[in-house]
Structure 1
Amino acid sequence: MSTPRFLKLPPGVRRTAVATSRGSFAALEALPGSGVPERRPALLVPGFTGSKEDFLGVLQTLAASGRRVVSIDMRGQYESSGPDDESAYTRAALGEDLIALLDALGPEPVHLAAHSFGGLVSQEAVLVDLVPPASLTLMSSGPSAVGGQAAGKAQALRDAIPQLGMPAIWEIALEPDYSKRGLEPEIVEFIKARTLGNSETGLVCMAKEILTAPDRVDDLAKHCADTGLRTLVIYGEDDDVWEPSAQASMAERLNAAKVVIPGAAHSPAWDAPETTAMALTSFWNKCENPAR
């Protein structure tokens, strides 16, 4: 894959693809400076309307701790192709994709960290228990379906796509909004490419999934207790998708570690990359060296 002219990758980060039993997934990969990983690998999963680039700010720092770090586009997102088959975009089906990715990135257990809707998908993957991860991190993700303004936005997108299509939605609504924010032109160009690169079927189906996801935290808590899987709940103090209080409650129900990122909203890896990377690295290192 070639790097788009409007998107610069940090040193040590490259575009690649991960081949799995369920197809190929577009990815960004970062390796330690020596090129030889000494710790367990990590898989980073984006949320609804997101992509692998959401983790650009943390990849280099995470890899510097001695591990291979891979962020991916889920099926139908940006540069990962996806079919016009709605069944391919359920949380369960996307969870099967994550299982295949965990297997492909092995043979060592892989740390799984998933953002927003990706967190709901990762719960499905973990509960199947086919390829146990080294740890699970739920980043700015909630116990169940979104509500409030986040639900309104997902519903609006779900309903508008079949009527208008994403090119028209970009031109009528999204581009003017991004232009008002004063973003750099190359960032707007990237967002446009990502927006139009998404599978429209995938977007509609993922919107339905994030609006209807049931609460499976108790099932996950039992699984973690039974298997010893260590879990981290991390979120920005100003998260506006799932209430911080709901995420704190989820951490308690999971008996999970919890980190609140100061000055961050729904995307701590973007809003506070160094703080987020340090929190992830610390958690992963403790999982690998529990006696310390």
Structure 2
Amino acid sequence: MSKPRSLELPPRTRARRLRTARGDFAVLDTAPRGEIRGTALLLPGYTGSKEDFLALLGPLSDAGYRAVAVDGRGQHESAGPRHRGAYTRRALALDVVAQAAALGEGPVHLLGHSFGGLVARAAASLAPEAFRSLTLLSSGPGRVARPQRVRVRALRAALALLSKERVWRTTRWLDSRGEQPGAGDPPEIVLFLRRRWMRTRIVQLAATGRLLNRDPDGTLQLAGLGMPLHIAYGDEETVWPVEELAAAAHRTGARHTVVTGAGHSPNVSHPQELADRLTAFWDLC
């Protein structure tokens, strides 16, 4: 999950519903400033949402790219079924292929942050013709680090036993490491995080958490895609082992970006630098 620092929409951005052959999805759609150089579809991570990319949308737009951040099915403001079978890897990948088609601009640059990278890989494998490139942001083709797997297992177990409100309060307390929940966060951000949590379906959290923890190594799958690849992350990444991310970039021949001083969410902490790295890659595709 990323935590946005501001909820203000960047210039040329509108919140809307994207109608696709697989239903409607909530998106933040940012038009480019000046002549369009390309379109990027941005997929958020586990427990996250389209707002995770708010800080990145403006710099991408300034560089001439249309950037569309999306809530996946059952996530925040996108509706989703109540049964676990609706949240398989294939179902989520088909949603992304439909979203790309609905943008109406031909093949798009696909970026997946964290769990969104898992979905992006599946979508690119399913319909490579729909995408000009694939970027995994703070997301590896291998399994997440053990502490994160333990955290996801604990969250799934808590959701099966406790109310969503109680799980929210507990996770906030744990995140604050015993300090007053929400300490240091502006009130509007705390309200947004709670609203996002309460709107996301429990079945989505349970099913996608299971996928995240059981994701097989997809390095060979990535190497065989035949499209431009980009693996980007912060040098202080904690969810995936950085040495494994570097090895995956080397084995697949992917463009390799390491953002100095960034953790799991360079899209929040270093949006301008990340946008510069992304657009330099996209310009070559």
How high is the TM-score relative to the length of structure 2?
0.92
Q: Which residue of 2 aligns with 1:98?
A: 96
8 A Cα contact 2:106 2:130, kept in partner: no
Q: 1:279 aligns with which of 277, 280, 285?
A: 277
Aligned to 1:290: none
C-alpha spacing 1:173/1:256, structure 2 compared with 1 (3 Å): closer
CA distance in 1, matches of 2:56, 2:183: 23
Offset, 1:129: 2.3
Question: Match of 1:223, SS?
Answer: coil
Q: Which residue of 1 is the match for residue 29 of structure 2?
A: 29
Q: Tell me what 1:20 maps to.
A: 20
User: Structure 2: which 5+ runs fail to align?
Assistant: 1-5
Aligned residue pairs total: 276
* Matching residue's letter, 2:192: F
Paired amino acid for 2:195: A
CA distance in 2: counterparts of 1:173 and 1:274, whole angstroms:
30
Instruction: Give the counterpart of 2:262 among 264, 267, 270.
Output: 264
- Give how far 1:175 is off: 5.6
Distance 1:180 1:95 in 2: 34
Residues 177, 235 of structure 1: alpha-carbon distance in 2 compared, 3 angstrom cutoff: closer
Q: Which residue of 2 aligns with 1:205?
A: 207
2:43 to 42, 45, 48: 45
Equivalent in the alignment of 2:239: 241
Query: Conserved in 2, the CA contact under 8 Å of 1:136 and 1:230?
Result: yes
Determine if the alignment matches structure 1 residue 165 to structure 2 residue 151: no
Q: CA deviation at 1:62?
A: 0.3
Secondary structure at the counterpart of residue 224 of structure 2: helix
Report what 2:194 is aligned to: 192
Which one-letter code corresponds to 1:10 in the other structure? P
Per-residue deviation, 1:187:
0.8
How far the C-alpha of 1:140 sits from its partner, in A, is: 0.4
Identity of aligned residues (%): 40
Q: Return the alpha-carbon distance in structure 2 between the equivalents of residues 38 and 12 of structure 1.
A: 13
Cα distance in 1 for residues equivalent to 2:119 and 2:183 = 31
Query: What is aligned with 2:127?
Result: 129
Determine helix, strand or coil for the equivalent of 1:7. coil
Shift of 1:176: 7.1
Preserved CA contact (<8 Å) 2:97 2:123: yes
CA contact (8 A) 1:99 1:131 kept: no
Distance 2:173 2:25 in 1: 27
Cα RMSD of the aligned pairs, angstroms, is 1.6
TM-score (norm 1): 0.90
Q: Does 1:112 align with 2:113?
A: no
